[in-house]
Amino acid sequence: MSEYNLGAMHRQVANRLGLRPALRYKDFGRYRDYCWRDYRSDADAFAAKLIDLGIGSGDRVGLLSENRFEWLVTDIGILSAGAVDVPLHAPLAPKQVEYQLGHSEARGVIVSDQAQADKVLEVVASLPNLEFLISFEPLEPQSALPNWTWAGFLQAGRNLGESGQESVRQREQTVTGESLATIIYTSGTTGNPKGVMLSHSNLHSNSEAMLASGAAQQGDISLSWLPYSHIYARTVDHYQAILAEMTICIAESVDTLVINLAEVQPTWMASVPRFYEKVWSSVDQLPPADQAKRLRAIFGPRLRQLSSGGAPLPRHIAEGFVGAGIPLLEGYGLTESSPVISFNQLDHNKIGTVGKPVPGVEIAIGAESEILTRGPHVMQGYWKNPEATAETIVNGWLHTGDVGEIDDEGFLTITDRMKDLIITSGGKNISPSELEALLVSDVYIDQAVTYGDGRQFISALIAPNFPTLEAKAEELGASMQAEGEFLTDPQIHEFVMDRVSRVMEAVSQPERVKRILILARPFELAADELTATLKVRRRFIIDKYNEQLSALYD
């Protein structure tokens, strides 16, 4: 048995901790404990039935669901069966589901409910490799695909008795660190996404590196809400939590996070900048002493630290939290690196940077200031795409596509994405992320996307902080009425433009935003304007609003 075997790792911890709570999840309005013994028993039953169905080592199984405790159990069951799971983001459309299940040649798929099952059933005729469907919740009768409920599938696995358990133990022992564990499809902005192949060793080593970096501590209680289909939550909230023997409390949704924080009172939590921005906007106008008091009330008295990743954390947010006595530590990584490359630590936290390399990871700065990384965290490659793999991994170094610099103390700073650089018609190279970070530092601006490639000046799409701007509109006697998708009241436009001009004083004239469009709603996940971790999809949004942005230059 390999030491880098995720299923075996889970088994060792579960056998040792037994009746201690591993997971907590909401059931009929109250949190319910799920112990390590049951966690392992259910994962074994699931694995046993998969093997009984003929799922072999390396076979792919899709997993299309929102966060719930069954997701985590199913993941461990698939891995213990020596199979490869293909997690799909819950908001995907049927055509996207079709591509990822088809491209990965998945033999089965697990879904959460009828809505997710319907996506699969709509395209099942185009998926000749798909043999079965399992649903966490009961489905309406259908004959298009053999199907089970999750509870029924587990019972079928238990009914196999000792022979079923022995088949799982034997299969699990064949898994090595180099065995493929998962294929995660990146959220491409153009064309089809690429399937990132991550091994047991990739994920195990990265989880160990995060734990060694102090991201979490033994016995922590975490509130988990980031989508498990995303690599950040998968490694940090799931596998690291197993190594750290943590109790994972699963949030109901992003909309209930503040309520769930009060219920759970975690000691640690990982999140993305978008959530921290929203929390900070609710306290930004308070005096500093009241800010600290309010933040403590939101996150609870037991909180030790917060982690941030998945997107750049605006500097003023980090400074605000740290100034209020709540350590908010930023890290950096990408799906292809399992994902964490660097991370700040409690006793070595440098705001404005993404920290130093985590243990076992190397970082270098290559041509055009591109960040390169090498180590056990680097993916095996892209599924069925050797050309893209060869372009991305060169002599063992993963080319991240991000631009950055390493200071004299070894801290890494991300300055931009290579592909996102704006080059104006005057030849000026401009970092959109720097401008967008400045824009959202204003209390009246919630989200921003800058535009101007090949243009004579920079413009921006602004999604305002609606409660704050509505209060200002009332004070000004202005209207928040919209025409189409944009706010058009001249007073509102003038006021927001004035706020933009003020923050733009921090950059040179060619970099300053000269014209704006003010959206009548925030960027939304349901509109494909945000990724699964609520990161703004710049190029998608620019393409979507290209006509309106272009009109600013007429």
253-308 pLDDT, tens per residue? 988 999 999 999 999 999 988 899 889 989 988 999 999 999 999 999 999 999 99
Cis peptide before 386 (omega within 30 of 0): no
DSSP secondary structure letter of residue 303: -
| Residues 429, 314 share a domain | no
* Nearest CA-CA partner of 134 in 243, 47, 256: 47
Judged by DSSP in three states, 62 sits in strand
Residues 6 or more apart whose CB falls under 8 angstroms from that of 42 comprise 73, 77, 154
| Residues 293, 172 share a domain | no
Mark which of 386, 418, 450 sits at the end of a domain. Answer: 418
The strands making up 513-518's β-sheet, listed across from edge to edge, are 445-451, 458-464, 513-518
CATH number at residue 111: 3.40.50.980
Q: Is residue 194 part of a domain?
A: no
Residue 541 reports pLDDT greater than 60: yes
| pLDDT for position 426 | 67
| Residues 437, 383 share a domain | no
Position 525 confidence tier, pLDDT thresholds 50, 70, 90: confident
Mark which of 141, 157, 176 sits at the end of a domain. Answer: 176
| Residues 161, 14 share a domain | yes
Mark which of 151, 176, 201 sits at the end of a domain. Answer: 176
- CB-CB contact of 308 with 273 (8 Å): yes
Q: Is residue 431 part of a domain?
A: yes
What number of residues does the chain have? Answer: 554
Q: Is residue 217 part of a domain?
A: no
Q: Is residue 216 part of a domain?
A: no
Pairing of strands 60-64, 84-88: parallel
Q: Is residue 443 part of a domain?
A: yes
Average pLDDT, the chain: 94
* Nearest CA-CA partner of 281 in 321, 308, 310, 251: 321
| Residues 414, 354 share a domain | yes
DSSP codes joined into one string, 353-398: S--EEPTT-EEEE-GGGEEEEESTTS-SEETT-HHHHHHHEETTEE
Number of domains in the chain: 3
Judged by DSSP in three states, 88 sits in strand
- CB-CB contact of 261 with 297 (8 Å): no
Burial class (CB in 10 A: 0-12, 13-18, 19+), 301: exposed
Residue 190 reports pLDDT greater than 70: no
- CB-CB contact of 515 with 457 (8 Å): yes
CA distance 97 to 116: 10
CATH number at residue 353: 3.40.50.12780
| Residues 514, 412 share a domain | no
| pLDDT for position 436 | 92
Q: What is each CA distance from 350 to 39, 51, 220, 408, 412, in whole angstroms?
A: 39, 49, 24, 12, 10
Average pLDDT rounded to a whole number, residues 45-68 = 98
Handedness of CA 469, 474, 476, 477 (dihedral sign): positive
Output phi, psi for 269, to 5 deg: -155, 140
CA dihedral (430, 435, 437, 442) in degrees, to 10, reads 170
Q: Is residue 432 part of a domain?
A: yes
| Residues 389, 310 share a domain | yes
CA distance 120 to 87: 14
| Residues 93, 130 share a domain | yes
- CB-CB contact of 254 with 294 (8 Å): no
Position 534 confidence tier, pLDDT thresholds 50, 70, 90: confident
Average pLDDT rounded to a whole number, residues 339-367 = 97
- CB-CB contact of 109 with 94 (8 Å): no
In which domain, by residue range, is 358 found? 255-418
Neighbours of 366 (CB within 10 A): 12
CA distance 447 to 525: 13
Average pLDDT rounded to a whole number, residues 49-60 = 98
| pLDDT for position 191 | 61
Neighbours of 81 (CB within 10 A): 30
Q: Is residue 291 part of a domain?
A: yes
| Residues 471, 343 share a domain | no
Output phi, psi for 230, to 5 deg: -100, 145
CATH number at residue 529: 3.30.300.30
Position 427 confidence tier, pLDDT thresholds 50, 70, 90: low
Residue 75 reports pLDDT greater than 90: yes
Q: What is the 3-state secondary structure (H, E, C) of 120-176?
A: HHHHHHHCCCCCEEEECCCCCCCCCCCEEEHHHHHHHHHCCHHHHHHHHHHHHHCCC
In the chain, % of residues over pLDDT 90: 84
Q: Is residue 224 part of a domain?
A: no
pLDDT tens-digit map of 385-416: 999 999 999 999 999 999 999 999 999 999 87
| Residues 57, 165 share a domain | yes
| pLDDT for position 189 | 41
Residue 1 reports pLDDT greater than 70: no
pLDDT tens-digit map of 322-348: 999 999 999 999 999 999 999 999 999
pTM of the model: 0.86
| Residues 453, 358 share a domain | no
| Residues 500, 414 share a domain | no
